[in-house]
Structures are given as C-alpha cells and as structure tokens.
Amino acid sequence: MATKIFALLALLALSVSATTAVIIPQYSLAASAATIPQYLSPIAAVGYEHPIVQSNRLQHALAASILQSQAIVLQQQSALLQQQSLAHLTVQSTMAQQQQRVLSPFSQLARQNPAPTCSNRCCSHSTN
C-alpha cells in the first residue's frame, strides 16, 4: 500500500513539474541553430535545423532556381524573336532592293515618254 501511495505521489510531482516547465515554441529552434559554434561545417549545421525551417529553406532555394531558369528561357525566347525580326527585315530590304532594280528601267522610261493627257475629245466616255 505504501508503494502505491509513493507511486501516486511521484506521478503527481512529475505532472506538476511538467505543467510548470518552460514551453519553447517550435519557431524559436531556428534561433538555437544560429548558436551552433562557428567551427562546425554548414553540412553539420543543417542537421540541427528544425525540419520546418529546413523545408522552408529548401523551398526558397527551389523557387529561386525555378525563377532563374524561367529568366533564362525568357532571355532565349527574346533573342530568338530578335533574330527572327532581323531576318524578316533583311528579307524585306532585299525584296525592296530587287523591286527597285526591276522597276527602275520602267520608271526611267516613263520619265522619258510621259503618257498623253486625257481630254474629253479623245476618250470614249461621254460627259452627259
């Protein structure tokens, strides 16, 4: 009987000490990771991080790498559009030069032999 009373008192003392213990929030564990001595390697220090802090850090690193790869893709697409635009302008310029070469003799001929002006007497339409 004395053993039962002693066990009951021990459990009561344990529950009182547990309720009066200082409760440390989980997010404050990140601050304790900063107190790890500087001589530890960064790989060893990662082991002391709280899993939520470590997960958050990894998510940020992943998001940064995704943004960086998206920026590279956008730069490549922009360069491709610039190349296509330059190629289009080159083709247009070449076509204009060829058109000018083809039409130049005709424009010279038109300047040398102007078309007769139309008067009502020589035309087949009537002005009624």
pTM: 0.38
Quote the pLDDT of residue 53.
Answer: 83
- Residue closest to 44 by CA, chosen among 52, 33, 53: 33
- Which pLDDT score, from 0 to 100, does residue 122 have? 56
pLDDT band at 41 (very low <50, low <70, confident <90, very high): low
Is the pLDDT score of 36 beyond 90? Answer: no
**pLDDT score of 10:** 76
User: What residue spans define the domains of the chain?
Assistant: 51-86
**Mean pLDDT of the region 49-69:** 87
**Residue 74 pLDDT greater than 80, yes or no:** yes
Q: What HEC string does 51-76 produce?
A: HHHHHHHHHHHHHHHHHHHHHHHHHH
